[in-house]
A and B are shown apart, each in its own frame.
Chain A
């Protein structure tokens, strides 16, 4: 929820302005957190926003969906009431105004191509355009935004906010070409033939990690991104109708997995009027989302269980009926408390829809398009740490493709770092 002016100021006053700020190292982008909170306290929203924008080009996105690692680093975190840094960032972004941003005056005459318009591509484009490189983003989907557009539900990040960020990029001179697939619609040689001096791969990690649970091929079993994409792609205005048309039905839903995507899918199901159970193996702290999300989800009626899913049970027509799970016992082990499978009979959670959220990995098409690229063992793209360059000359990488997953704020930080590496490279050559 967004803060009102009064609440925001009260919250900002609560910040102790530590001499050695513990929140600072928590932010991957390195935002001057105590600094902007101090400015908010003084009531200067515009200056506060300017301070944030120094390090983060998209505070209205981060202010809504950042997992807020800074709040976990706050001195008040252990008390259970850390300063609501993310909400304050959102307040500054929503109510502050900055002078219209302009690119640097001298054109450099060098062109950079970016593949993918997700958070890392956006942030790299922003920093490159600011340094007056002519930037073109090539996006495979019809609308730019990547997973921000297709996999984050409207209630968390309104499409309008995302559109505003793209009009900012366009105003900086960034060109965005959609419906272009690297290696299919356009080959890498073509990009360099068109005069681009560098190419940034910001394709993210969009491929689901497949589950090996028996029954994952049953009707009514979806992966998290599929579920979110179906509801997004079909009908933006009316999710209820979209669900009916996309044959997502049922009154009971089970979500298997943890992390932002699992909770997004679960909360969207709740909004469709379904009874939702979220199942993962682990303690609540390992849910992979911030305490706020956990609290809000509970308030919305989400039931969270710590169980081990064993298999999905289907009927004779191949529709999922439920998920067989084994309960877990808390046992005392060497390193503290641990969970262990109990000896009780497995129980069956009834469900007509099962959503699997197993994490993400980089899309295979890049391996097909550029077979000469080198990959790390964990499935992420290899790049030289110093120059940021991949195993191909003039080709760089940024965001989730480099880390095989990660949060929005990490992707934005990755794009920013890659932009600096590219500027450094093009400055030399």
Chain B
């Protein structure tokens, strides 16, 4: 079950893998995700379903190798199977024929926006894509986005490719230029917050996909809690897509920050097994006596 049949490096530390999963492929809709456990020793991680092909009964995931589990997933080779995968989870993205739609994504968000763009295009919308990346090295899915979107704009923070600047800069220009019916934004909290402000001014509906830290993915633990319109909701069950004007971005950045690995480097006070209990006490005393 869940055999990897294809694997491709698409940017620095980013791989695309295709997995056989008939049950998931037949149900997956844009905006949904799966919980993946690469090997028995790992914990499970959420992964957006970037593409699903019912005919070939496979789904595609884009793996950003940042944590131990995602690194393990990236290391699995073609022919190997995943220990566990459950899905599709989360509500599918809202989709209809609106007219002109802007889809803006930064960083790994490009992987999440691609299926939404594809879905919107299928519904008959004019889709304008904006991708923001730190530099050309980490820019991904450019060709796929070019195929799906009617128009595409790319920015890099360091100017190593196409335009230099931020994705929100282009969004502002486009909002001034066109009459836009709807905006979809996925990426950093700052970007989504900026997009929320811009669209609020012009009274354009905004959908954002949030990526708080998920542990269980089935609505059991409450780790991915976000505040929507003043109420706590779970990204895994009630989301991950929400009304961008309702999201409490300050709370979101606090929640995202809470699980940032660099943050914990200085914070963590690892509980030292040597220091606990009587046996630990004896051991530590013995250790100091030896010195």
A binds B: yes
The answer to whether residues A206 and B220 also contact, given A184-B89, A249-B270 and a CB cut-off of 8 A, is: yes
B232 proximal to A (CB < 8 A): yes
The answer to whether residues A185 and B271 also contact, given A229-B215, A317-B263, A318-B257 and a CB cut-off of 8 A, is: no
B80 proximal to A (CB < 8 A): no
Task: Give the CA-CA distance A184 to B88 in the complex, in Å.
Answer: 6
A141 proximal to B (CB < 8 A): yes
The answer to whether residues A249 and B271 also contact, given A217-B255, A234-B43 and a CB cut-off of 8 A, is: yes
Q: Which residues of B have CB within 8 Å of A244? A: 268, 270-271
Chain B 30-67, CB-CB to A under 8 Å as 1, else 0, gives 00100001000101100000000000000000000000
A185 close to B27 (CB less than 8 A): yes
Instruction: Name the residue of chain B whose CB is nearest to the CB of A230.
Output: B215
A150, A273, A368: which has the most chain B beta carbons within 10 Å?
A: A273
A150 close to B268 (CB less than 8 A): no
Checking A179, A218, A222, A368 against B84 with a beta-carbon cut-off of 8 angstroms, the contacting residue is A179
CB distance from A82 to the nearest CB of B (A): 32
CB distance from A364 to the nearest CB of B (A): 5
Q: Which residues of B have CB within 8 Å of A206? A: 218-220
Per the 8 Å Cβ criterion, residues 127-181 of A in contact with B are 140-142, 150, 179, 181
Task: Give the CA-CA distance A243 to B41 in the complex, in Å.
Answer: 14
Q: Which residues of B have CB within 8 Å of A364? A: 219, 234, 237-238
Instruction: Name the residue of chain A whose CB is nearest to the CB of B28.
Output: A184
CB distance from A267 to the nearest CB of B (A): 14
Task: Give the CA-CA distance A78 to B214 in the complex, in Å.
Answer: 47
Q: Which residues of B have CB within 8 Å of A229? A: 215-216, 220-221
What's the A-B contact tally at a CB cutoff of 8 Å?
137
The answer to whether residues A142 and B220 also contact, given A240-B271, A368-B237 and a CB cut-off of 8 A, is: no
A150 close to B220 (CB less than 8 A): yes
B143 proximal to A (CB < 8 A): no
B254 proximal to A (CB < 8 A): yes
A220 close to B276 (CB less than 8 A): no
A240 close to B273 (CB less than 8 A): yes
- The bracket for how many chain A residues form the interface is 35 or more
- The bracket for how many chain B residues form the interface is 35 or more
Task: Give the CA-CA distance A249 to B272 in the complex, in Å.
Answer: 10
Q: Which residues of A have CB within 8 Å of B218? A: 140-141, 181, 206, 363, 365
Q: Which residues of A have CB within 8 Å of B223? A: 222-223, 226, 230
A347 proximal to B (CB < 8 A): no
Task: Give the CA-CA distance A243 to B272 in the complex, in Å.
Answer: 11
Task: Give the CA-CA distance A368 to B234 in the complex, in Å.
Answer: 13
Q: Which residues of B have CB within 8 Å of A192? A: none
B205 proximal to A (CB < 8 A): no
B275 proximal to A (CB < 8 A): yes
Checking B89, B237, B258 against A318 with a beta-carbon cut-off of 8 angstroms, the contacting residue is B258
B107 proximal to A (CB < 8 A): no
Per the 8 Å Cβ criterion, residues 230-281 of A in contact with B are 230, 233-235, 240, 243-247, 249-251, 272-274
A207 proximal to B (CB < 8 A): yes
Q: Can you name 6 extra interface pairs (CB under 8 A) apart from A141-B218, A184-B88, A217-B225?
A: A217-B251, A217-B254, A218-B258, A244-B271, A249-B271, A365-B237
**Nearest 6 CB-CB pairs, A to B?**
A219-B258, A273-B276, A226-B221, A210-B232, A223-B222, A208-B222
